Structure 1
Amino acid sequence: MSPPFRALPPEDQRPEAPPSRPGRMMPQDAPALLTTRAAASILTPDGELVSVVVRDAGAFLATLPPPLLVHGPATLRRLGLAPDAQPVPWFDLLELFLFVMPTRPVVPTPRGMALALGLSPPAVIEADYLVHLLETLHRQLQERAARAGTGAMLGLLPLLSRAGWAWAPFVESVLEAVPSRNRHPYEALRVWRRLPRWEETAQRPPPGSRPVSPAEARTRLAGILGQDAEIRPGQADYASAVSHALAPREGAGIPEIVLAEAGTGTGKTLGYIAPASLWAEQNDGPVWISTYTRHLQRQIEQELHRLYPDARERRETVVLRKGRENYLCLLNMEDAVNTLASRPSPSPSALIGLSMLARWAEETEDGDLMGGDLPGWFGDIFGTSIAYGMADRRGECIHGACPHYQSCYVEHSIRRARQARLVIANHALVLSQASWTSLGRDEIPEEEQLPTRYFFDEGHHLPEAADSAFSLSLSGLEAAELRRWLLGAEGSRSRARGLRRRLEDLVATMPTLEAPLDAILNAAHALPAPGWLGRLHGGDDAPQASVPDLIVNPSESFFLALRTHLEARRTTHDRGTARIDQSECDLRPVSDALIAATQPFDTALRRLLTPLETLVERLKALLSDPDDALEAAQRLRIEAMIRALRRRAIVRVQGWIAMLDTVLDDTESGQGDAFIDIVRSEYVPGRAGETDVGLHRHWRDPTIPFASVMQGPAHGLLITSATLRDQTPAPAPGATLGATPGAGSESGAEASWIAAETRLGTQHFIKPPLRASLLSPFDYARQTRALIVTDVPQNDPDALASAYRLLFMAAQGGALGLFTAISRLRAVHERIAAPLEEAGIPLYAQHVDMMDNASLVDVFRTELHSCLLGTDAMRDGVDVPGQALRLVVFERTPWPRPDILHRERRRSLSPDDPRDYDDRLTRMRLRQAFGRLVRKADDRGVFVILDRRMPSRLLSAFPDGVAVERVSLSEAVTRIGSFLETPPSDPATGESA
């Protein structure tokens, strides 16, 4: 922090700023504010730079006008001010940045904004630098005005001015805005009227089957990398191995499969893009590249800039696909705009947030709200409901009946994918599509053309993704959501569109639909009614738990009995290892009370299922009518409605009935079954003290349905990751290729491959996979250290926080702290945030800072001396090369969660040695965490585990050559400091660089 006062340049030497409007404060007249949790740097209106401790900052700011700052809500939290004490309307530079450049990525810190604006920020940024950022944004706005690209901004200014947006006078003065008298004041928000419309194209012919040879894959990779690229040993071998997944399959249902493990630093993304892109070009067909998270999808997309540097070609060639719930729904936005316009005094915050969303919607490439080009900090600045409320998160899309169907972002992406070469998806979407395909061709929309080649990156997550995709939940929330989908909002202010609204114009012209529709809506009243959660938890109108028959609604009676069953059977877990927001118990043996409550609910679901099936049959009959009275749009709409009824209602209700049959017929032992049935309760977000309760069915081996649905459409599969296997003795350098192991081979490497194939489910396919293993090119013995700290008490949050603080300060930032429990993460953050920031080390945290994970990683990567706390999502797939990450601290050994699902699966997958199953999963998690540490050849770092109980048998998780030492906390602090301060030695000579 600087001295308390510092002079600024004289007034006549500062860049010219726009003139102030009388009566409205302008940002150039405002104080500038930059905070940490320890102190605030304030540039007063008089030009004095003042440093104030946090406890005095609030009182000091109260004497000043609203300040200029970056990220107002985060600033408020750091100052410890209550929401109603915020200096509104502040001048948040992020808001101005979003208004001027709505789709340009920007990290929400002063340094991040400087880099986004092409500036070179100083090593230490203080409040006066915000004036420089304002001047740069002022110039950017002037350049926009000179290019006459301000129509959308000018249209929104009257609304923003009316809402009291702090920046409105400033923007008006720059753009010399003149109020328009010819447009409705809300017309600027109706972006759907100005968006491009997609047009139908001819269906793409089936792709060819020409293979890609290993030599061709190597040549394409060399072309992508260029002559000056970093040479990565094994990358070309990897590309060569991947090409086998693109060979023609030998028979129906017999895809070519490659399991490829590529150590960190191999360059696997470009390694598989090379053969995939070549195959797509030669065969005029797409390759779908699937990864685990939205953040990783964007990372892969960024890599493709090297292959397709031209933005126009890249947009035509590469498409990023996600579930419909990730995108802006234009019909939802229309409803929100109309609702706001109908109010005599609309909420200023809602008006500003919706205006900013409209500003973004006109310039976004794909309308992706979750991890796309909408900033991850948008919800924190303007309210989470603005963005989340615009997405179709409840499956209410009416497809062809929507007036914005041809402008829909989702439909645009679907149609772009029809002509793309590479489609970047996620495991959840791919498995969902494949599962519906397995039910028949009727489930595939005409606009969807399924691929024949699938590349699964982060393949170690496939079992987890398959478990999520193929499990089934009969919970109060799920059942209430189905009721809402069928009946609509039922008198609330919600925009929910019920089944009658979706079908009303069809019913008016086709009377045969009326009877089954009425029967469905009547039967839907047996599902949980509005307010069910309060009744379940003893609200004013709740019956006594001892007389559940007083609840007329059969579903509510069932869920009350299910909760009683859970309360009686659950056991108390160690809160240090189990989730505190969840409890569970086995379904079997089923109590008499639960059986009694199940029968009426089972009957009610069957009464709902019958008219649903009748309605679908009558809709299908309309499509098969030889009369050509149906227009093409109407036909497409009916097809979409049939699919929606099957997916949202029929298949779900059929599954629920099957689960209830298990309750009613409690004759199975539960041993050796295909399914695991669990009763589970979970806290409901936003409803303190209330939990949802449900019956959950999981496949004992979720890779069985995965193999079943993939072997039909897939001609080739790649499953790749840095951690497909448990760590084994190192193979020879380069790739090792081969078929399945011989029956008599039981070497350590062979056993690890067998275990990997069992876990990933490739043994359920007809043809055995081809295996490839590529070693990491990094010299871990030289570049890393691994320490186990032996004197930090496990259940003492103060001691744990102290350890993190000392270790982070020893590394002077650049540290990632990993936790196995959110509660411990929050406890540590609360204790160390202020002292770290007093030392000049900013601290960010998942589940604390109101940003998505991708934004948090961007901040961490940008602020070189910051620290980040996170859980599983930060352990896997986070790529932070260089000095921004030089220390990883794991708070304890990441054992699998000791829940019922884990108990049953390890019993099935490792019956002879359950402990070995636990160890394998734990070693793979440690390998993933260690892999965050070194991402480039010149990276150096230290890995620390604060768990003296970590057994030595897990140490093989670390790369060969890494000596793991057990040390005290003080020794760890000393070793971290000395290792990171010592220049790296030359591997050839052993001398310091």
Structure 2
Amino acid sequence: MSAPASHTSPAHLSPFDAPALVARRGHSSLLTPDGELLTLTVAETRQRLLTLPAPLLIHGPSAMRALDLPQHPQPVPWFDLLELFLFVHPARTVAPTARGMAIALEVEPPHVITADFLPRLCEILLDQLHAKAQTPEGYALKGLLPSLTRAGWVWAGEIAHVLGAQNAASSPTHEAIRVWRRLPKWEDEAQRPPPSAHPVEPRAARERLRHILGENAEIRPGQADFSSVATAAFEPREAVGTPNVVLAEAGTGTGKTLGYIAPASLWAERNDGAVWLSTYTRHLQKQLEKELHRLYPDRALRRQKVVVRKGRENYLCLLNMEDMLNATMSRAASSPEGGKNLLPLALIARWAETSQDGDLMGGDLPGWFGEVFGQGILHSIADRRGECIHASCPHYQTCFVEHGIRRAKHADLVVANHALIMAQASWNAATPEGIPDEDSTPSRYVFDEGHHVPDAADSAFSTVLCGLEAAELRRWLLGAEGSRSRARGLLRRIEDLLERVPALDGPVHAVLAAAHTLPAPGWSERLNPSPSADGTADSETDDLLSGILPSIPHENNPSEAFLRALNAQLRNRRHTQERGQNAYPPTECDLFPAEQGIIDTAQTLASALHTLRRPLQHLSNQLAAQLDADPEMDAATRQRIEAMIRSLYRRATLRVSGWISMLDAVCHPPEPTSHIPQYVDFIRTEPLPRNRSGGGTHDVGLHRHWLDPTIPFAAAIQTAAHGLLLTSATLRDQSGTAFDQDGTRDWQAAELRLGATHFIKPPIRASVLSPFNYANQTRAYVVTDVSTEPASLAWAFQALFEASGGGALGLFTAIKRLRDVHQRIHERLEEQGIPLYAQHVDAMDNATLVDIFRTEIHSCLLGTDAMRDGVDVPGEALRMVVFEKTPWPRPDILHRERRRVLADGHPSDYDDRLTRMKLRQAFGRLIRHGTDRGVFVILDRRMPSRLLTAFPTGVSVHRMSLTETLTDIQAFFGPSPEAA
């Protein structure tokens, strides 16, 4: 393949003079420059590309993988239509395939896509670009061209020709990338008064639902009933701390999303307040936001009424982007290769001016951007390091996050996720009184995918003292130490306030001095020394604070000593546990009884953390005193101080206090009594992310989880909340046992699992059945002759995927088995025209994988839990679900302890309930519309019959051999359209 164009002034290469390529692992399609359309094997395609110019293609990284060619850093030599699409339509979602692009461009794709279709897509995009040439948008695009040309972008010459830009190769100033100078500024508004408390009548909710669906739409009775039930969450509460709680189970196909949007929007309008609609994942947030287009079809009105809120780490940070641009320009001045980040920065600038809310992760930036241009870019320009300086930032009034926060305070509906709501609830409980939160505290919540509330609470209210967490806190306090990182420490973030309040200088420097007791740079290498490591990698630093603050020898660092002690106990206990028949995963062990080394180092570390917490609290108190001392303080400074107090509590004080509590438990272990403990404490080791490893391979830490995480959830939310609706298709287990015919026992178990028993007012229960005819629309099989041996398992997946002709979702309980099956079958499937994609194999985020799976109706997808719960693919694109084995709960320490306490004396029943819930959720992916048909297969002959009640009433489960199953599936689906 030809070399990339020059960084300085690439020649004008035309994509229409290049070959076009649709790369597949089986047979690729290649259109040569002289118009010959070829079908070639992988080896033949690679050989042809050696003699041809770099091709026109879609999704270069995927094409290179299909051809077993090495990946190429940006700027790439080929014409990737995804890059052109991003330039022309910067905030429009497109699945990264030829069919996906055709659908996005409203072009009917051919049944079988070959390489000769790509020039047509290219021509359409360039025509659309040409139509912008004489518009304000076109002039802005011309301004970006010098930077793109300097970056060596292969499309720059063709785009300059189409736009009529004669000076695209001129010396760039990169002014067009400085998008923060052109973004709109937010303006403060008067504070919104507290909402009133008028209820929503069920009849009014039904009328609003009819309005959303349209006058001529037939309202499904189940959907209207669900909407009526949901109104109970919007009744006025009777007393403080007694919110109205509604548990509403809505069978798949009920239309629950619009069912709760109807009363939620009515309540918001009537009471001038906000309802927070929460989902479990960012992908589901995006789906929910799309549903709201039906309520507010006008974009301007929708932007006023609806706001999507996520954590800060999801959004573009303009200050980080400016830092990266300045660093890139500096490197480019001294090295031809130094400007490699100009291309993605220019395209990010193009996107930022069009983006709805600047959401980098799951918003309107295409999910494949990180794969095409490098994930490191996105991590660097997002606020992933918690270093926001709020009102001191020069881009504060154009900040996407601040825009969203202010819009949310006046919106009717805020689309959030469980993690954000849990984090806010825990932060609000810890933030000092009188310091307002960023977001207004809502009084009404809807938790969609409500069965995930315990999981979200478990994550939000757990505490981890590990190397990575402690080192991150050190970096947050001290900033970059002896590295090229742009990390800003506390001193840089607070220096403007130090000038105004000199009294802060003492506590700030006391904090910085105490922070040196946290793990120093290179801690992971010292925790996991390699044979060649000499421990001197970080001996020389250029920290700005060197000479002012004390340094601690690595061997005496109390945090690192504690980590080494944890590592030693884990190694010792792991060796003995692995021999047992019911061994827990070798990545964890019990804390108690703790070895003496852990007790000794815990005492030393606890003392060091007390020394850190005291000046942190003193600094916060000094800042709060400034607010009280100066009531005439200008709004910007007041907001700046309030933000700093919140940051200190959330990022530092709250975390350090949690660690001290854990260490106190180590030093003073609980006495074995009949009293049920609140927490589970254990030691766990985990692989380090590559970009944060520092040379080590794994991290080790002390973990603390609530035995029942819904206790802190209920405690944090019920004081402020007036009403909440928890809804899902799978709130209950529905065990179907003879002694629970009315479902009372299943509802009691659901209330216990969801935390409803911790609310003062008993919840309202409701259930709406699915409208689908599962007996006619589905088949379910337990295959009886497939072993767990890798070759047998892979053969079964291949045969099943071939029988369905694609449109299959394979679900795994172990990533290793997923990768092994993918490795064994992907080439053979793709040779038959069935593309195979896989989570943990393809370097794309889950949302992009699902977009491809939904678009390519004959493709198959392999995944784990995230795919089991987060896939909404109606129609023929998903017609088979295959489970590789019975999804029993992971037999780890946390599950052991929760089963012991929460199983009510029936641990096997507890396991069965959790497993049936997973099966129900997976089965729910299969049928999304009344015309869908699909099959559900479990490749585990040992699956107990008692678990089969997980499937909907009417579904008969057949235990068959694989051969019999394949025959039955083919008969169920009937002949393919091609065969007919």
Query: Which of 674, 677, 683 is the aligned partner of 1:673?
Result: 677
Contact 1:797 1:824 in 2 (8 A): yes
Contact 1:76 1:86 in 2 (8 A): no
2:630 corresponds to 1:639: no
2:405 corresponds to 1:411: no
- CA displacement, residues 602-644 of structure 1 (integer Å, 9 cap, x when unaligned): 111111111111111111111111463x322111101111111
Contact 2:150 2:169 in 1 (8 A): no
Pairwise CA distance, 1:912: 1.0
Query: Which of 783, 786, 795 is the aligned partner of 2:780?
Result: 786
Within a 5 Å distance, the mapping from 1:292-307 to structure 2 comes to 292-307=280-295
Shift of the 560–163 alpha-carbon distance from structure 1 to 2, 3 Å rule, reads same
2:884 corresponds to 1:896: no
2:553 corresponds to 1:560: no
Query: Which of 311, 331, 335 is the aligned partner of 2:319?
Result: 331
Contact 2:200 2:267 in 1 (8 A): yes
Large movers: runs of 4+ above 3 Å: 21-24, 84-88, 180-184, 346-349, 439-447, 571-580, 728-731, 745-748
Structure 2 counterpart of 1:881: 874
Contact 1:577 1:897 in 2 (8 A): no
Shift of the 916–969 alpha-carbon distance from structure 1 to 2, 3 Å rule, reads same
Q: Secondary structure at the match of 2:556?
A: coil
Structure 2 counterpart of 1:734: none
2:173 corresponds to 1:166: no
Structure 2 counterpart of 1:224: 212
Shift of the 928–429 alpha-carbon distance from structure 1 to 2, 3 Å rule, reads same
Structure 2 counterpart of 1:845: 838
Give me the whole-angstrom Cα distance separating, in 2, the residues matched to 1:541 and 1:551. Answer: 13
Shift of the 33–180 alpha-carbon distance from structure 1 to 2, 3 Å rule, reads closer
Contact 1:31 1:65 in 2 (8 A): yes
Structure 2: any 5+ residue segments left out of the alignment?
1-8, 537-551
Amino acid in the other structure paired with 2:664: D
Give me the whole-angstrom Cα distance separating, in 1, the residues matched to 2:10 and 2:514. Answer: 64
Give me the whole-angstrom Cα distance separating, in 2, the residues matched to 1:239 and 1:86. Answer: 51
Structure 2 counterpart of 1:363: 354
Query: Which of 407, 410, 413 is the aligned partner of 1:422?
Result: 413
Within a 5 Å distance, the mapping from 1:536-935 to structure 2 comes to 536-539=527-530, 540-541=533-534, 551-570=555-574, 583-626=587-630, 628=632, 630-669=633-672, 672-686=676-690, 687=693, 690-729=697-736, 747=741, 749-794=743-788, 796-935=789-928
Give me the whole-angstrom Cα distance separating, in 1, the residues matched to 2:40 and 2:519. Answer: 55
Pairwise CA distance, 1:227: 3.3
Shift of the 577–33 alpha-carbon distance from structure 1 to 2, 3 Å rule, reads farther
Shift of the 946–558 alpha-carbon distance from structure 1 to 2, 3 Å rule, reads same
Shift of the 371–215 alpha-carbon distance from structure 1 to 2, 3 Å rule, reads same
Pairwise CA distance, 1:572: 5.2
Amino acid in the other structure paired with 1:43: L
Within a 5 Å distance, the mapping from 1:76-225 to structure 2 comes to 76-83=64-71, 88-179=76-167, 185-225=173-213
Q: Out of 532-541 and 317-326, give the one that drifted further.
A: 532-541
Shift of the 573–457 alpha-carbon distance from structure 1 to 2, 3 Å rule, reads farther
Contact 2:387 2:493 in 1 (8 A): no
Pairwise CA distance, 1:183: 9.1
Structure 2 counterpart of 1:374: 365
Contact 1:578 1:897 in 2 (8 A): no
2:229 corresponds to 1:241: yes
Contact 2:146 2:172 in 1 (8 A): no
Amino acid in the other structure paired with 1:773: S
Query: Which of 252, 260, 272 is the aligned partner of 1:264?
Result: 252
Structure 2 counterpart of 1:320: 308
- CA displacement, residues 187-238 of structure 1 (integer Å, 9 cap, x when unaligned): 1111111100000000011111000011111111111112333542311111
2:392 corresponds to 1:401: yes
Within a 5 Å distance, the mapping from 1:939-978 to structure 2 comes to 939-978=932-971
Give me the whole-angstrom Cα distance separating, in 2, the residues matched to 1:574 and 1:347. Answer: 53
Q: Out of 952-961 and 349-358, give the one that drifted further.
A: 349-358
Pairwise CA distance, 1:437: 2.1
Shift of the 83–550 alpha-carbon distance from structure 1 to 2, 3 Å rule, reads closer
Structure 1 counterpart of 2:4: none
Structure 1: any 5+ residue segments left out of the alignment?
1-20, 732-744, 985-992
Pairwise CA distance, 1:503: 1.4
Q: Out of 571-580 and 556-565, give the one that drifted further.
A: 571-580
- CA displacement, residues 855-890 of structure 1 (integer Å, 9 cap, x when unaligned): 111111111111111111111131111111111111
Pairs aligned (count): 945
Pairwise CA distance, 1:358: 1.2
Give me the whole-angstrom Cα distance separating, in 2, the residues matched to 1:870 and 1:381. Answer: 22
Q: Secondary structure at the match of 1:144?
A: coil
Query: Which of 514, 523, 535 is the aligned partner of 1:532?
Result: 523
Give me the whole-angstrom Cα distance separating, in 2, the residues matched to 1:395 and 1:505. Answer: 18
Contact 2:524 2:696 in 1 (8 A): no
Contact 1:487 1:498 in 2 (8 A): yes
Q: With structure 1 as the length reference, what TM-score do the two structures score?
A: 0.92
Amino acid in the other structure paired with 1:255: P
Pairwise CA distance, 1:81: 0.9
Give me the whole-angstrom Cα distance separating, in 2, the residues matched to 1:441 and 1:201. Answer: 25
Contact 2:205 2:228 in 1 (8 A): yes
Give me the whole-angstrom Cα distance separating, in 2, the residues matched to 1:198 and 1:720. Answer: 35
Pairwise CA distance, 1:276: 0.5
Seq. identity, %: 61
Pairwise CA distance, 1:976: 1.1
Shift of the 236–178 alpha-carbon distance from structure 1 to 2, 3 Å rule, reads same
Give me the whole-angstrom Cα distance separating, in 1, the residues matched to 2:73 and 2:199. Answer: 66
Amino acid in the other structure paired with 1:969: L
Give me the whole-angstrom Cα distance separating, in 2, the residues matched to 1:370 and 1:338. Answer: 24
Give me the whole-angstrom Cα distance separating, in 2, the residues matched to 1:348 and 1:398. Answer: 28
Contact 1:729 1:748 in 2 (8 A): no
Within a 5 Å distance, the mapping from 1:471-486 to structure 2 comes to 471-486=462-477
Q: With structure 2 as the length reference, what TM-score do the two structures score?
A: 0.94
Give me the whole-angstrom Cα distance separating, in 2, the residues matched to 1:854 and 1:53. Answer: 30
Q: Out of 684-693 and 202-211, give the one that drifted further.
A: 684-693
Give me the whole-angstrom Cα distance separating, in 1, the residues matched to 2:176 and 2:475. Answer: 32
Shift of the 251–574 alpha-carbon distance from structure 1 to 2, 3 Å rule, reads farther
Pairwise CA distance, 1:151: 2.6
Contact 1:255 1:715 in 2 (8 A): yes
Contact 1:37 1:78 in 2 (8 A): yes
Shift of the 227–200 alpha-carbon distance from structure 1 to 2, 3 Å rule, reads same
2:930 corresponds to 1:937: yes
Contact 1:349 1:382 in 2 (8 A): no
Contact 1:437 1:443 in 2 (8 A): no
Give me the whole-angstrom Cα distance separating, in 1, the residues matched to 2:970 and 2:580. Answer: 34
Pairwise CA distance, 1:645: 0.6
Structure 2 counterpart of 1:5: none
- CA displacement, residues 330-361 of structure 1 (integer Å, 9 cap, x when unaligned): 11001000101112225454221111111111
Give me the whole-angstrom Cα distance separating, in 1, the residues matched to 2:168 and 2:89. Answer: 23
Structure 1 counterpart of 2:446: 455
Contact 2:10 2:152 in 1 (8 A): no
Give me the whole-angstrom Cα distance separating, in 2, the residues matched to 1:88 and 1:676. Answer: 50
Pairwise CA distance, 1:50: 1.0
Give me the whole-angstrom Cα distance separating, in 1, the residues matched to 2:185 and 2:358. Answer: 14
